């Protein structure tokens, strides 16, 4: 509990991994639903191919965003180490 109140350690790097997995699951569910709807309506390009491409792009963008957040926290840790060196 003292670490939680003192902000000595950050919980965001731990949470961002959970957010990434939940985001991937939501993207996969969205793509699956859109593909099923596209198959029901017999739409090949707009109902099957584009959702798959959009899902892949969304997963890539989510990964990049999560990595950027982790990089900011890693930079903070490295800067704190540099500041503590004599």
User: Which is nearest to 16 in space by CA: 80, 72, 67, 76?
Assistant: 67
Give CA–CA dist 61/50, Å, rounded.
Answer: 16
Express each pLDDT in 50-66 by its tens digit.
999 999 999 999 999 99
Largest CA distance in the chain: 68
Express each pLDDT in 14-36 by its tens digit.
899 999 999 999 999 999 999 99
Q: Where are the domains of the chain?
A: 19-79
């Amino acid at each position: 509990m003292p670490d939680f109140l003192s902000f000595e350690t950050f919980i965001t790097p731990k949470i961002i991994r959970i957010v990434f997995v939940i985001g991937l699951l939501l993207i996969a569910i969205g793509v699956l639903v859109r593909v099923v709807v596209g198959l029901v309506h017999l739409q090949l390009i707009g109902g099957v191919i584009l959702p798959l491409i959009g899902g892949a792009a969304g997963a890539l963008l989510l990964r990049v965003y999560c990595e950027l957040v982790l990089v900011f926290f890693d930079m903070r840790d490295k800067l704190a180490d540099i500041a503590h060196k004599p």
